[in-house]
Every structure is written in structure tokens, then in C-alpha cells.
């Protein structure tokens, strides 16, 4: 990356730097959730160009992608918050902010149901015992308005946090509320009840996910950040009593969407869930295909699901090597260009992901100014999503000619194969109509 900057080559990334964004980013490291060995004056690891980039260039954009340029969950949550809630006026300040511990991923995931309503606000990360200074500074910047229909609450603390965390928030003068639970199923039930109390209605549809398989359950986070349906937890072969209790409030009329294959939620559990309502399974053979299946699914009867099978959409890419970053990126489905979650790998899109993205590639008839356009958020620095991977995603999102001719009819598009894998393969498909030829 240093070589990239020294050479002055801006072939893919337009760097958008906002100074002073994370002046206290070293504090998240002190809490055990960031890079170790940080210089407490500069906020950088000594001699580390990557950490300098995280601090000084938090956003990196190409023509079709925007990267949240950190792999620290605490910093990522702050940057997502800054991207979506500018907090320059009451119109773009959040109602309330959710504080969660990313190490309790089941709690943080289920808490996303409160992002849209009642909060209209982000999830920021804390550890069990304290809040990093950088997160406290972000709370001050956001200055949440308080949610009138939720008794003016400005900060919601979720999970099993030390009382000292709430004390830090109260010292800022914010009105707080707490949602706790003894286990993932119990806290998910509490979120369901909290939402129903504030909204004064119980959503008839629910997502049921595995409390033991983060990679299969995590795609739910973007949908529940966007829509009222909650996430409830099961084990592979068991429905916890707390989940059963939450489903019973639907009086046998629930629309239950299982997320994940039988390898993580058994056919036995699927059959048992039928006593609470209609059951549909959304699944893929691996985590990549599972996320794609959810992005494509639409229940026309209930309007549940993204149903993205045509061009003109946004996606949120997170590396499966760092799944906790999906928790920080969840609000990208709530404001701006709403986006479902897609898993990717560090250096390239897996074949299944590439095929799906290509299937919804935008095409124009006469001019690229017609649109539609695709875009993607990428969350993570180059240690989890490489620059080459960003370039591949950017290319596959580019609008191309419907006819295969170049921009303005100058020449025709060529069939450019995807770069070979190290083993000599091409990944199972060709990258047809590369935009560099058509534009």
C-alpha cells in the first residue's frame, strides 16, 4: 500500500480523508479490541503504514465501492456511524445509540433489530468493563436526540455489561436503558419484547438462526437492521424455551424463516417450529451461498426478504475471515443505499459470489448515463480484503453495454477471462464484458 501511495497511482482508489476522525483510536486497542503496541501519542503502531492509513484515510473509495478502512471492530463501528449519521443538524442525528460488546456476537447481532426502530441510530462497541475514549467521543459527536416514544431514551446498553459502562454514559448526561439476558435465546426474546412494547405491535414474521454458527446466522443482521422482523435463536437440535415463548406470542400465526441449512438447524427443529406457524427455510450449501440465498429471497405474500435478482442495488461485503465486522456494517442496510450482506474472501470473490454479482450486473442500452448502477460497501482494511479483491468487486459492479459494444459504439467488448488461480484454474467462469473494454 505504501508503494502504491509513493508511486502516486490512483488507478482504483480515490482517498477521502476526514481529519480528526479517530484521534483516539488507540484507546480501543487499550481495551483489547484493536491492534497491540500502539503509540499512545500518534495512535499508530510504530513503523506501521497500515495503521497510519487506518487513522489518516478511514474511507477509501473507487468508482463503485467505498471501503471502511479498518479491521478493528470498534473503529469500524465508529466509521459506519460517521458515514450514516453526520450529526450536523437534528435531521441527521440519531434518536438513540446501541452499545454492545462484539465478543457477545449473538447479543450484538440480535440487538440490530433496534437500529431502525426505535433508535434510528448505530451500534457502537464496548468491552464488558469500559468504553474506549474514541467511542465516547463518537457518542458526544452524535449527541442522540432521544426517542420520544421510548421515554426519551438516548443510549440502550445491551448484554451483560459491567455497571461501570452505564456510569460512563450517564456522566455524559444521556438517558439510558438496559436489555439483558442470561443466554443468547433469552436476550433475543428480550429484544423482541422491547421492540413490540415500543412499537405497540408484534411483528408476525421472525427469522430463526443458529446461536452456534455465526457465519450462517450473520446475514440476518442487515435485514433486521432494516425491517421489524426480529432474530430468535435455536440450537441445531433444540428450540430453547425462551424462543418457544417468543413464538407463542404470535398465537400460531407466525411466519418463520429459518436461515441456514440442515447442518446447522436440523430438520427435526424445522418440524417442531411448525406448531408456531408457517415455516420456510432459506439456505445455501456453505456460508457464501447461504448469504446469497438470503439476498435473493423474497416472500411475495409477506414482503419479507431482499429479493435482489436485478441490477441497480447495493451490497455490503465483509470477509468471512473477520465476520464480526458485519456487526459494525449492519447499519448500511438502514440508511443510504440499503445493502444485504455478502461474504467474500481476502483476495478474490468466491465463484458463487462472483456468479451472483455478475447476474445482477447493470447494463445500458444507449449510454451509461441511463443507469441503473450498482455499488458496494467494503468493511475491513487490506489485511482482510485486499486491494486486488476491491478491484475485482469494483469491476464486476461496473455498468456495461447491453449490446457488448464499447462506450459510444467505439469497438466491441472482449471476452476477458478471470485471472488464473495459483493452481492454474480460472475460478470456474469467465469475467465477460470487462468494463475497461466497454467504456
Report the C-alpha gap between 61 and 295 in whole angstroms. Answer: 24
CA 87 to CA 95: how far, in whole Å? 11
DSSP 414: -
* 411 confidence band (pLDDT: 50, 70, 90): very low
Mark 210-227 as b/e (b = at least 16 C-beta within 10 Å). bbebbbbbbbbbbbbbbb
Q: How far apart are CA 91 and CA 86, in angstroms?
A: 9
Class of domain 203-307 as given by CATH: alpha beta
> How distant, in Å, are the alpha carbons of 103, 266, 311 from that of 364?
45, 44, 11
- Given this model, what pLDDT does residue 406 score? 57
Predicted confidence (pLDDT) per residue in 84-113, tens digit = 999 999 999 999 999 999 999 999 999 999
pTM for this predicted structure: 0.83
C-alpha distances in Å from residue 21, one per residue of 30, 82, 146, 330: 18, 9, 24, 20
pLDDT digits (tens, 9 = 90+) for 346-358: 999 999 999 999 9
Inter-residue contact 97 to 139 (CB < 8 Å): yes
Query: 194-233, pLDDT tens digit by residue?
Result: 999 999 999 999 999 999 999 999 999 999 999 999 999 9
Task: Provide mean pLDDT across the span 288-295.
Answer: 98
Burial letters 372-387, b for 16+ CB under 10 A, else e: ebbbbbbbbbbebbbb
Residue 239's nearest CA partner among 218, 219, 263, 209 is: 209
Element at 125 (helix H, strand E): strand 123-125
Q: pLDDT tens digits, residue range 117-162?
A: 999 999 999 998 999 999 999 999 999 999 999 999 999 999 999 9
Report the distance separating Cα 211 and Cα 123, nearest Å. Answer: 20
Q: Please say whether the beta carbons of 209 and 236 come within 8 A.
A: no
Residues 6+ apart with CB under 8 A from 181: 107, 159, 187, 188, 189, 190, 242
Q: How far apart are CA 156 and CA 41, in angstroms?
A: 32
Across 30-39, 188-197, 207-216, least confident range: 30-39
How is the chain split into domains, by residue range?
203-307
What pLDDT was estimated at residue 418?
Answer: 54
The pLDDT of residue 28 is above 60: no
Amino acid at each position: 500500500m505504501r508503494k502504491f501511495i509513493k508511486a502516486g497511482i490512483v488507478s482504483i482508489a480515490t482517498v477521502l480523508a476526514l481529519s480528526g476522525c479517530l484521534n483516539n483510536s488507540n484507546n480501543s486497542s487499550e481495551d483489547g479490541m484493536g491492534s497491540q503496541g500502539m503509540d499512545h501519542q500518534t495512535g499508530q503502531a510504530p513503523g506501521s503504514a497500515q495503521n497510519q492509513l487506518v487513522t489518516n484515510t478511514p474511507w477509501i473509495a473507487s468508482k463503485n465501492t467505498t471501503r471502511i478502512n479498518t479491521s478493528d471492530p470498534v473503529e469500524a463501528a465508529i466509521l459506519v456511524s460517521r458515514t450514516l449519521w453526520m450529526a450536523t443538524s437534528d435531521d441527521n442525528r440519531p434518536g438513540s445509540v446501541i452499545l454492545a460488546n462484539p465478543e457477545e456476537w449473538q447479543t450484538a447481532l440480535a440487538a440490530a433489530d433496534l437500529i431502525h426502530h426505535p433508535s434510528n441510530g448505530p451500534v457502537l462497541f464496548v468491552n464488558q468493563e469500559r468504553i474506549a475514549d474514541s467511542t465516547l467521543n463518537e457518542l458526544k459527536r452524535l449527541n442522540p436526540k432521544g426517542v420520544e416514544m421510548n421515554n426519551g431514551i438516548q443510549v440502550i446498553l445491551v448484554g451483560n455489561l459491567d455497571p461501570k459502562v452505564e456510569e460512563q454514559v450517564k456522566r455524559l448526561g444521556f438517558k439510558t436503558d438496559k436489555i439483558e439476558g442470561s443466554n443468547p435465546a433469552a436476550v433475543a426474546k428480550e429484544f423482541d419484547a422491547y421492540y413490540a412494547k415500543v412499537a405497540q405491535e408484534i411483528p408476525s414474521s421472525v427469522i430463526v438462526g443458529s446461536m452456534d454458527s455465526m457465519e450462517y446466522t450473520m446475514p440476518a443482521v442487515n435485514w433486521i437492521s432494516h425491517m421489524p422482523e426480529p432474530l430468535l435463536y435455536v440450537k441445531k437440535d433444540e428450540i430453547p424455551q425462551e424462543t418457544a415463548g417468543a413464538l407463542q406470542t404470535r398465537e400460531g400465526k407466525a411466519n418463520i424463516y429459518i436461515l441456514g441449512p440442515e447442518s446447522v438447524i436440523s430438520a427435526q427443529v424445522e418440524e417442531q417450529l411448525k406448531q408456531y406457524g408457517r415455516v420456510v427455510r432459506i439456505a445455501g450449501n456453505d456460508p457464501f451461498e447461504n448469504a446469497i440465498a438470503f439476498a435473493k429471497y423474497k416472500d411475495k405474500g409477506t414482503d419479507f426478504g431482499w429479493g435482489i435478482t436485478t441490477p441497480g442495488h447495493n451490497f455490503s461485503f465483509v470477509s468471512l475471515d473477520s465476520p464480526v465486522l458485519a456487526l459494525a456494517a449492519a447499519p448500511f442496510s438502514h440508511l443510504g443505499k440499503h445493502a444485504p450482506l455478502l461474504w467474500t474472501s481476502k483476495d478474490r470473490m468466491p465463484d458463487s459470489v462472483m456468479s451472483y454479482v455478475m447476474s445482477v450486473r447493470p447494463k445500458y442500452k444507449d449510454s451509461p448515463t441511463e443507469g441503473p448502477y450498482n455499488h458496494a460497501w467494503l468493511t475491513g482494511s487490506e489485511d482482510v480484503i485486499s486491494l486486488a479483491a476491491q478491484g475485482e468487486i469494483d469491476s464486476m459492479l461496473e455498468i456495461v453495454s447491453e449490446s457488448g459494444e464499447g462506450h459510444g459504439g467505439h469497438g466491441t467488448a472482449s471476452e476477458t477471462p478471470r485471472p488464473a488461480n495459483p493452481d492454474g484454474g480460472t475460478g470456474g467462469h469467465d469475467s465477460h464484458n470487462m468494463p475497461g473494454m466497454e467504456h
